[in-house]
Chains A and B, each alone.
Chain A
Amino acid sequence: MAVKAETDAARSRPAADLRRQERRRRRIGTIAVPAIGAIGVLAVWQALIAVLRVKEYLVPAPTAVARALVDNWHMLLKNAWPTTIESLAGFAIGNLFAIGLAVVFVHSKTLEQTFYPMAVVLRTIPIVAVAPLLVLLLGQGYAPKIAIAALISFFPTLVNMVRGFGSVDPQALELMRVLSASRREVFLKLRLVNSLPFLFAALKIATGACIIGAIVAEWIGSDAGLGVLVINATTQFETPLLYATMATASVMALIFFGVVALVEKLVVRWEADEAPI
């Protein structure tokens, strides 16, 4: 039997090589095709601006945006820094609270039934509406920005973690009972690991969301940050700078997402295909 199984594996080795090659080809495709698409869109944009003679303060050409990026890189970086701190701190705090609360919910059905619906309702309040309130409460410093970034990171993670802890294979739960495993063992060996793909799905959403939270908070009252640059550039009709600021925020979000996706790849190695959601 063992011999048979091994020959199966040996036979499937060239097949695995083929699959790997195929995957590599597909990966090149997933980079090259969107890149060509993006270059195409930029070219059309540039051409339309030139042909239609659109005024720069309305819509700048890609080249104008690029120039604004180069000219203002120092100011952009200086203002990206506070936004980064606020986003990261908010990301950490919001997610930690969400994970903690989800753990509490797993251990107490009563608490879950009491507070989970409230959390779901609170989630529907638009963050833009809450932001002024928090600025009023917490003042002009980092605190309100971090609070908003945390709040916006909090809900997706809470919802996903509750799902991740709950959606355990019922047969695996039966197995743990046959093995007379304690609640703690079921949590640590089953629910916690089971929730990791759900956690990373939420964290990836939170990477973009926390930056949005920080920028929106900066609009309301701040003297530094990408949010401030957005407001200033808009009121002074420095539209290329506005676009350059947007591009900077976008690069921040991409780096952040990339880091989380990389950690996910290193941690969650058992998923056959895509993570849930």
Chain B
Amino acid sequence: MIGPSALAQRERLDAAPAGAIVISDLSVRFHTDAGEISALGGVSLSVSRGEFISLLGPSGCGKSTLLRVVADLIPPSDGAVTVLGEPPEGARRQRELGFVFQDAALLPWRTALSNVRLPLEVGKFAQRGRPAAKPEELLELVGLKGFENALPKQLSGGMRQRVSIARALVAEPSILLMDEPFGALDEIQRDRLNVELLRIWEKTGLTVLFVTHSIPEAVFLSQKVVVMSPRPGRVREVVEIRLPYPRHLSIKDGPEFGHCAARLRRLLGEV
């Protein structure tokens, strides 16, 4: 028998925006020879389904650590993290998470296509009955049609990162975690990949959590930018970027873009 108050509570939960990632009062401490290091000190953050959010901050502010807690690569020391309503481990095992690493992390002995296929070959993917994208189509989506049989050493840095994005998407996750994916690229490549990433995001409706230390990149891509302060990492402020999508590179020349970038720079300066 469900009482009226329980029903009301139920309705309220349904009405609340579906939280893809909910982080409350998260702390992470590492034990090293030099003693205990506090990487994150009480971070709370909520990411709605389909949102594009960037984590921006100087190195050492724990933004990569935060991403890795969500991916179940690092356990939280304190606080709670839920991903799609469960602990991160559940989301990881359900293959709801795609992760794009800083250095592409392709297996050098596999061709581009075979690298994209890797997630379908491990972790009992076949037994889970999940939908899977066609690796060939994903390579086409990231603009690498014709490079299926190329080895990573034959690809440029930008192309390698495209392959790794395709790999992250092949198991059709609902959340894409990206750890400074374009940090090692030159500005031209980076701009190009930013545009492509937005195109993919708009097409797939993914929730994206994007770590960067580039202010223009954060402004160009995101709906919200989470500015973090270092030692221990905390959320300093969440800045909404009210630029309409689809965004083109030309918005970078507009006044609104400049205002947002200036605001973020100020916030980072106070950090």
Residues of A within 8 A of B (CB): 1-2, 4-6, 9, 169, 171-172, 174-182, 185, 189-190, 193, 268-272
Contacts and interface: CB of A to CB of B under 8 A. Distances in A.
A2 B137 CA distance: 12
A179 B101 contact: no
A174 B109 contact: no
B122 A185 contact: yes
B37 interface: no
Contacts of A272: 108, 153
A174 B101 CA distance: 9
B146 A2 contact: yes
Size category of the binding interface on chain B: 35 or more
Contacts of B171: 179
A5 B107 contact: no
Contact of A179 (B103, B109, B123): B123
Contact of A178 (B71, B103, B108, B125): B71
B49 interface: no
Nearest to B101: A171
A185 B105 contact: no
Contacts of B143: 1-2, 4-5
B103 A171 contact: yes
Interface string B84-103: 00000000110101110111
Nearest to A1: B143
A175 B119 CA distance: 9
Counting chain B CB atoms within 10 Å of each CB, which of A169, A176, A179, A269 scores highest?
Answer: A179
A171 B119 contact: no
Nearest to A189: B122
B185 interface: no
B105 A175 contact: yes
Given A176-B122, A182-B123, A193-B107, A5 B101 contact: no
B22 interface: no
Counting chain B CB atoms within 10 Å of each CB, which of A5, A189, A193, A271 scores highest?
Answer: A5
Contacts of A269: 109, 151
Given A174-B101, A270-B153, A272-B153, 10 more contacts: A4-B143, A176-B122, A178-B71, A178-B72, A178-B97, A178-B98, A179-B125, A180-B124, A268-B109, A269-B109
